[in-house]
Structures are given as structure tokens and as C-alpha cells.
């Protein structure tokens, strides 16, 4: 009888064991959601600002000391450190970034799908680790205005036209877009891209006849500049000297000598600080200005070091 009376009282006051367990579970879910939201917002912020997700040190003993703007976060990070459930591992960070990337691509796919027709912009280059990277962009009409959107970098094992065409198909399939809806394509003049027999442009036109190929105007301008200025002996020789200087100092020992030279301040303009010498770009004429500027802004430093080394 006493147990029955206690049960009625607990039910009336909503203090039964089941209610308490349910409330505890609901509270835990809310706290976990708030904690995860902070992590996701931090990861997205660093990604948008191009800030590294992780530092050189993996020491987590004082991980919460910089979270003064969120009072409860430091205690949560510290308490979950013992159970190894901080949700800060590289795998979880990459998973969150992949989820965000998929959501962005879905939004882009919806915008392109409303238009119905779109154009392809594809370019390939070799990164610093000597891997072939292909960038894919889409050009379409969004809210009555032309829009160009980058949809990803993709590593390829082969740079042949067949492999690049298959990559384009895979990208469009992932975004739930049809290759038949392509009405334009813009690439550089490389044979594997614009070749009349087996190039990507030709393969795309076989399944999308309206996909007109346009040679990238920036690449055309770059080629025109290079061909024109190659006929100017003064400019050609000057650029050769700039490249020779960079080649000569492209060793740690020689660059350290160049970097350590003390340049006295001379009025009215002090000598500029050391600027790292750069190699001439083989593919982009505009990038050569950086190499020329690195020499043009510190000729005295370079001459002094050349004399010293000689």
C-alpha cells in the first residue's frame, strides 16, 4: 500500500524513475548537441579562413584554457578528456568537413538543376608533391545572373583524355547532373583536353552535341604574351638573367648567405628587407612578375653576395 501511494505521488509530481531517466537523457542530448555545435562552427570557421585544423602539438592537457567566451566549454573538454570522447580527432574533423562539402555541393547542384543547362570549366596542373590535380568548375545562370562555382580538386592517376573525361562524368554523377545538359566547355589548349580525336572536348561533344568548346581566353593571352615577348631580345635576356640568379641561389647555403647580409640604411630610403627569390613560372606569364620583383627590389643585396661568393 505504501509503495502504491508513493507511485501515485511520483506520477503526480513527475518524479518517477522513468521520468528522471528520460529527463537525464534529454539533458544529455541537449548538452551534446550544444558541444557538437561549437566544434562544427569552429571547424567550418577555420576551413573558411584557410586556417590549419591542427597544430604541431597534440598536448590536450590545457585544451580548454582559451575558451573564455564559452564558460562551460573548458569544463566539458576537460571532463571528456578522460573518456577520450572530445570529438576532436582528425577522422571526426575530416568527416565533418566532408559532410559540409557534400551539403555545399547539393546546394550548387540544386541551383544548376533549376537552370537546366550549364558549362564546364576544367584545368589540370601538377602540385608540389608531383601529383596531377584537376580542378572542375561549373558556369550557369543563377537568379538571372551568370555564376561560376568551383566544385572540387580531384587527383588523377592518368592525364589522358579518356581518364579526364571519366573524371568529369564521375563529378557530374555525384552532383546528380547530366552530361547531356552541358552546352559549353572551356579548357586550355593541351592535346589531351582539346584534341580533335581523343580530347575531353571531343568526347563531351559526342554525348552533348551542343557543348561548344572555347579555348580559355586567359590561356590564349598568356600564350600570346610569351610568344610576343620571346621576340624581344632585351626582355628575353633580362628574364634569363632573373632565372639564372634564382638557380644560383636555389641552395640552402647560398640562400642563407643572401638572407644574412646586413644592409645599412641609406637616406632617404632604407634598403628593403630580404625577399625570397622565385622561379619564373612556365605556364602563367603574370606570375613571372613576382620573380622579377624579387630581384628588382634588392639588386644591391644580390650584387654584394655575388661579389662575396666569388
Closest by CA to 204, choosing from 158, 152, 161, 151, is 161
Least confident range from 25-29, 277-281, 303-307: namely 25-29
**DSSP H or E stretch at residue 134:** strand 132-142
Residue 249 within a domain: yes
Q: Are 128 and 142 within one domain?
A: yes
Confidence class of residue 19 from pLDDT cuts 50, 70 and 90?
low
In a domain, 294, yes or no: yes
| H or E stretch covering 153 | strand 145-155
141 and 232 inside one domain: no
Query: In this structure, are strands 118-126 and 132-142 parallel, antiparallel, or unpaired?
Result: antiparallel
Residue 99: inside a domain = no
Residues 200, 257, single domain; the answer is no
The torsion region of residue 84 among left (phi > 0), alpha (psi -120 to 50) and beta comes to left
Nearest-angstrom CA–CA distance, 35 and 208? 48
**243 and 274 assigned to the same domain:** yes
Global confidence as pTM: 0.65
Same domain for 248 and 284?
A: yes
Domain with 192 in it: what CATH number? Answer: 3.30.420.40
97 domain residue, yes or no: no
Identify the domain containing residue 157 by its residue range.
108-215
Whether 102 maps to a domain, the answer reads no
Structure confidence by residue, pLDDT tens digits, 138-195: 999 998 899 999 999 898 888 888 889 999 999 999 999 999 999 999 988 888 888 7
The count of domains in the chain is 3
Least confident range from 38-42, 77-81, 242-246: namely 77-81
Domain boundary residue among 215, 241, 276? 215
- Of 76 and 169, the structure prediction assigns the larger pLDDT to 169
Verify that 112 and 50 share a domain, yes or no: no
- Whether residues 194 and 271 share a domain: the answer is no
176 within 8 A of 109, measured Cβ to Cβ: yes
Domain boundary among 60, 92, 124: 92
Decide which of 194, 215, 236 is a domain's last residue: 215
- Pair (208, 114) in one structural domain: yes
Same domain, 10 and 84: yes
Based on the fold, state whether residues 136 and 177 are members of the same structural domain: yes
| Residue 246 belongs to some domain of the structure | yes
What pLDDT score was predicted for residue 286? 73
288 falls within a domain: yes
Give the separation between CA 292 and CA 303, rounded to whole angstroms: 15
Q: Is residue 179 in a domain?
A: yes
Based on the fold, state whether residues 210 and 228 are members of the same structural domain: no
DSSP reduced 3-state for 140: strand
Give the model's pLDDT for residue 126: 79
Co-location of 242 and 145 in the same domain:
no
Do the Cβ atoms of 172 and 178 come closer than 8 Å?
yes
Amino acid at each position: 500500500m505504501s509503495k502504491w501511494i508513493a507511485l501515485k505521488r511520483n506520477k503526480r509530481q513527475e518524479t518517477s524513475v522513468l521520468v528522471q531517466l528520460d529527463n537525464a537523457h534529454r539533458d544529455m542530448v541537449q548538452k551534446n548537441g550544444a558541444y557538437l555545435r561549437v566544434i562544427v562552427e569552429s571547424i567550418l570557421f577555420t576551413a573558411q579562413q584557410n586556417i590549419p585544423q591542427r597544430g604541431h602539438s597534440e598536448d590536450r592537457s590545457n585544451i580548454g584554457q582559451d575558451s573564455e567566451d564559452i564558460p562551460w566549454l573548458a569544463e566539458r573538454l576537460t571532463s571528456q578528456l578522460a573518456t577520450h570522447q572530445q570529438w576532436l580527432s582528425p577522422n571526426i574533423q575530416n568527416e565533418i568537413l566532408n559532410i559540409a562539402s557534400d551539403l555545399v555541393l547539393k546546394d550548387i547542384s540544386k541551383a544548376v538543376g533549376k537552370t537546366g543547362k550549364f558549362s564546364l570549366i576544367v584545368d589540370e596542373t601538377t602540385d608540389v608533391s608531383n601529383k596531377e590535380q584537376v580542378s572542375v568548375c561549373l558556369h550557369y545562370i543563377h537568379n538571372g545572373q551568370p555564376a561560376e562555382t568551383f566544385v572540387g580538386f580531384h587527383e588523377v592517376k592518368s592525364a589522358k583524355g579518356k581518364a579526364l573525361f571519366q573524371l568529369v562524368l564521375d563529378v557530374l554523377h555525384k552532383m546528380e547532373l547530366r552530361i547531356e545538359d552541358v552546352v559549353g566547355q572551356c579548357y586550355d589548349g593541351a592535346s589531351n583536353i582539346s584534341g580533335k580525336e581523343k580530347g575531353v572536348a571531343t568526347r563531351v561533344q559526342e554525348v552533348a552535341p551542343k557543348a561548344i568548346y572555347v579555348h580559355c581566353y586567359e590561356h590564349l593571352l598568356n600564350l600570346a604574351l610569351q610568344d610576343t615577348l620571346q621576340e624581344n631580345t632585351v626582355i628575353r635576356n633580362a628574364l634569363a638573367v632573373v632565372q639564372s640568379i634564382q638557380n644560383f641561389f636555389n641552395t640552402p647555403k647560398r640562400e642563407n648567405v643572401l638572407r644574412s647580409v646586413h644592409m645599412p640604411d641609406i637616406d632617404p630610403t632604407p634598403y628593403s628587407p630580404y625577399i625570397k627569390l622565385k622561379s619564373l613560372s612556365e605556364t602563367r606569364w603574370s606570375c613571372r612578375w613576382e620573380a622579377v620583383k624579387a630581384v628588382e627590389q634588392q639588386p644591391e643585396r644580390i650584387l654584394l653576395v655575388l661579389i662575396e661568393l666569388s
